[in-house]
Homo-oligomer: A and B are copies of this chain.
Amino acid sequence: MDAYRDLETHFKKLNTLGDALSVLHWDASVMMPVGGSLARSDQLATLRGISHELLTDPKVGDLIGTAENADLDPWQAANLHEIRRSYLRASAVPQKLVEALSQATSACEHSWRTAKQDADFARVQPLLQKVLDLTLEEGGILGETLDMSLYDALIDTYEPGASASAIGQIFEDYAAFLPSFLDDVLEKQKRAGEKPIPEGPFAIDKQEALARHLAETVGFDFSAGRMDVSAHPFSTGYAGDRRITVSYNPDDPILALMAALHETGHSLYEQNLPTEWSGQPVGQARGMAIHESQSLLIEMQACRTPEFVSFLAPLFREAFGEQDAFRDENLLRLYHWVEPGFIRVMADEVTYPAHVILRFRLEQALLSGDLPLADLPYAWNEGMQGLLGITPPNDRLGCLQDIHWYAGSFGYFPTYTLGAMTAAQLFAAATEAEPDILPGLAKGDFSILRDWLKRNVHGLASSVSSDEIVAHATGRRLEPKAFESHLKQRYLPK
């Protein structure tokens, strides 16, 4: 038991360093003047280096060996499991490779920023090749350590327990479902008339006030969090201090307010994690798919229901004045608008999975060597044509749009759509179990939904696997069916 307690102390310290890192990251995106960036990089690298040393300290391995014979309760055992996983992953990869990857991704990410602006993939290609080569090396080592395929080992970084084969089945089901469904949705949408266009400008301070009000409505606790402005919305923080950022556009409040609700979904999950385990690995949010499911459950499932939009539309009119686009039925149409486009982050929920499926297919081909990097732009555009029937006119709108690969994140993309599908399955189960959820949303009352989520998802933290969370909460493994049913019901109701 002593060994287990020592591990808890050690990982509490690691977690505390992670908390400090999250504040430094937030500050760099939200507060820091440009002059601070070089020294800030040093601060982040130094803290990361110290964390890595602490995590890979050989004494941790010894303690784990001893602790495995201790008499642990289920949460302690799950905590030890998470500790073991972190230690194995971190100590498997040689320090030299960690540093080489850090340098390569930093250089590649830097070059990507201007290459993207200039739509010039060739410029960043050699740097991306370096990142890819090193990622293959890392993935190979991790795969051997964890006894899984290279790609599964990379996915495991973001979503422990997920596998390419299981994801592939789910995604191909959706890829088969999409084409005719999309045609039908677009045809029906066309018949219903033009897209309502909000007429701006919309004062930023009013958008911000409404965003804060909505976050509070969902349940965000401002005594244990903040909401600020940054170039791209994100959420971060630590126990007791969760931070959301939003990016406002004076011409369009539609995106910003849903983005605020999306980040609120993430933060609500974090705010509801069990405080008694907040410093331990088992007390952290489960992988990225579950995390994304919580943001999408709020943003896409709950907050685009006719019930919630009937609560939201009057708030729009109050904040920005009466206009046609903010009539209940028009705001609902706006929030249900489907339109195939080039950019993933702008996509509606129907076409979004196509963007992810494309990346899922391509990153596997890149990692297996089937797709040489030089052919990526072509393969990307061909894939877009196949999935959504559109071809990007340049690589800025194509394979240069997302930072992930250029920052070394291979295996991340699938979690977005796993999250969307998990959200649909969870929300269906929640509203079936608690018939008062939907009438509550019409009054801006999220309490029943929140309680259900806390009981079935948030409060479990990492004590069980993602699969188990979904299975316990919904009675079934994750399937594409619930998501497809949700889309049919929302976009093509009988």
Q: Is A27 an interface residue (CB 8 A)?
A: yes
Bitwise, A21-54 to B at CB < 8 A (1) or not (0) is 0011001000111111111101100110010000
Known: A33-B241, A35-B241, A36-B237. 18 other contacts (CB 8 A): A13-B46, A17-B43, A19-B42, A23-B24, A27-B27, A31-B31, A31-B226, A33-B223, A34-B224, A35-B223, A35-B224, A35-B225, A35-B240, A38-B240, A39-B238, A39-B239, A40-B241, A50-B50
Q: Are A223 and B46 in contact (CB under 8 A)?
A: no
Given contacts A31-B226, A33-B226, A241-B33, contact A20 B47 (CB under 8 A): yes
Of the candidates B46, B223, B241, B279, the one whose C-beta lies within 8 Å of that of A20 is: B46
C-alpha gap A241/B28 in the complex (Å): 11
Smallest CB gap from A50: residue in B: B50
Q: Are A20 and B43 in contact (CB under 8 A)?
A: yes
Smallest CB gap from A36: residue in B: B241
Q: Is A222 an interface residue (CB 8 A)?
A: yes
C-alpha gap A331/B305 in the complex (Å): 61
> Chain B residues near A32 (CB, 8 Å)?
241
Taking the nearest CB of chain B, how far is it from the CB of A142, in angstroms?
Answer: 28
Q: Are B36 and A240 in contact (CB under 8 A)?
A: yes
Q: Is A217 an interface residue (CB 8 A)?
A: no
C-alpha gap A46/B42 in the complex (Å): 18
Bitwise, A465-480 to B at CB < 8 A (1) or not (0) is 0000000000000000
Q: Is A221 an interface residue (CB 8 A)?
A: yes
Q: Could you list 26 A-B pairs, sorted by A, with CB under 8 Å?
A: A16-B39, A16-B43, A17-B46, A19-B39, A19-B43, A20-B20, A20-B43, A32-B241, A33-B223, A33-B224, A33-B225, A33-B226, A34-B223, A34-B224, A35-B224, A35-B225, A35-B240, A35-B241, A36-B240, A36-B241, A39-B238, A39-B239, A39-B240, A39-B278, A43-B238, A50-B50
